[in-house]
Structure formats: C-alpha cells, structure tokens
C-alpha cells in the first residue's frame, strides 16, 4: 500500500499538466500542449494573464504541431531553408511539404506523397494559407497535389508507394519568412 501512494500521486500530477501558457518577448502568448502542438492565445482584452494557466476568455489558435498531423496547422517558414515545412496525414496518406523557394514572384513548395493505406489514391487536394509574420493573410488557395487520370489505373497512387506530388506555387510578395497553414481538404480513393 505504501508503494501505491507515490505512484498514485505521480499519475494525478501528470494529468493536471495539460497545457502551459508562456509569454514571448514581444508580449504574445503561446499555449504549449502535451500532444506537442502549440497555438497563439488570443484574448478579448489585452489584460495580462497568469503564465501558468489558460485565460478563461481566450481562444487558442493552432500554429504548429508534431511532424505528422491530420488537421489544419501552421508554422513559420523561412524561404531557402533546407528543412521540410511540415507533414500532413489523412486516412493513411502522408503529404510532405518540402522546403520553400521563391521564384518569379511565386512561393514554390515541392510536395511528395506516401500511400500507407490499402487503397489506391486518385486525388489529394490541400488548402494552403500564406500570411505575413503579423498574421495578415496574403494568399489562400486549394491545390490538387495528386490527381490521377480518370479510369487510367497506371496513374493512381498505389498502396505502399511514395511519389513526387505537384509543386504548390502561390503568388505572394517576396519576404524572408511567412506563416503557412495547411490542411488536406479532399481525398479520393479507389
């Protein structure tokens, strides 16, 4: 029984550490979640809040997540960085957004897809939103990064395969960094 009490205390304390709110140097607040996601905290009032709890009148805006995600997420990207931007997942389909480059007035993001499901994929469409670092939306587009030719089975993304997808090109003004949010919005399988 004496051994059980410390274990119970550890379990209770680990479940109470659900989220932590921190304040950045510029005054913005960020909520850090146990599932390795984070989001900006937007409050109705500009009042200061306790950094150890989430304000009751706050809305959490998701910004970044663990490498594999299946919801709309965002991150800050640096043009020309060698690291991939993010990986999205939906129904066994993994979509990797590669490192962004700027060419001829467009932000170019290469894509690659992996089909971990047991069905062939004929369409993958992603919605991309590009904002400046202050959160002002610059562009929002839906892009079909994989589309097969109707009734031509050789063009399907077969199960347990990986292929290069169509690059995403979005016309925006040139900047060193952008905020990007993305979500798989349409997925068709056969």
- Quick one: which of 190, 2, 3, 187 has its CA closest to 95? 187
Say if residues 145 and 125 touch (Cβ distance below 8 Å): yes
Give pTM, 2 decimals: 0.61
The predicted-structure confidence for 25-73, as pLDDT tens digits, reads as follows 777 887 887 666 777 776 554 344 444 444 445 554 444 333 444 466 7
Between CA 104 and CA 169, with CA 179 as vertex, the angle to 5 degrees is 30
In sequence order, the β-bridge partners of residue 128 are 141, 182
CA separation for the pair 116, 172 (Å, rounded): 33
- Whole-number average pLDDT of the chain: 79
* pLDDT at site 12: 45
- Quick one: which of 162, 165, 166 has its CA closest to 115? 162
Say if residues 170 and 130 touch (Cβ distance below 8 Å): yes
CA separation for the pair 89, 141 (Å, rounded): 19
Mean pLDDT for each consecutive 10-residue tract of the chain (190 residues)?
50 53 81 74 50 47 42 83 90 92 95 92 94 93 92 88 94 94 91
Tell me whether strands 86-90 and 68-69 are parallel, antiparallel or unpaired: parallel
Burial of 6 (0-12, 13-18, 19+ CB in 10 A): exposed
Residues 6 or more apart whose CB falls under 8 angstroms from that of 128 comprise: 109, 139, 140, 141, 142, 143, 168, 170, 180, 181, 182
* pLDDT at site 66: 35
CA separation for the pair 115, 95 (Å, rounded): 9
* pLDDT at site 59: 53
């Amino acid at each position: 029984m004496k051994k059980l009490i410390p274990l119970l205390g550890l379990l209770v304390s680990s479940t109470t550490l659900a989220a932590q709110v921190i304040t950045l140097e510029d005054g913005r607040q960020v909520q850090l979640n146990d599932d390795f996601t984070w989001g900006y905290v937007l409050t109705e009032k500009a009042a200061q809040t306790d950094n150890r709890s989430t304000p009751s009148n706050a809305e959490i805006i998701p910004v970044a997540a663990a490498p594999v995600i299946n919801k709309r997420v965002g991150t800050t990207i640096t043009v020309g960085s060698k690291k991939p931007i993010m990986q999205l997942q939906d129904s066994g389909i993994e979509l990797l957004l590669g490192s962004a480059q700027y060419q001829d007035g467009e932000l170019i993001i290469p894509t690659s897809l992996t089909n971990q499901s047991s069905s062939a994929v004929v369409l993958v469409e992603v919605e991309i939103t590009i904002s400046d670092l202050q959160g002002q939306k610059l562009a929002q587009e839906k892009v079909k990064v994989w589309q097969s030719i109707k009734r031509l089975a050789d063009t399907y993304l077969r199960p347990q395969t990986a292929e290069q997808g169509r690059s995403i090109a979005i016309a925006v003004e040139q900047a060193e960094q952008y905020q990007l949010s993305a979500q798989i919005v349409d997925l068709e399988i056969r």
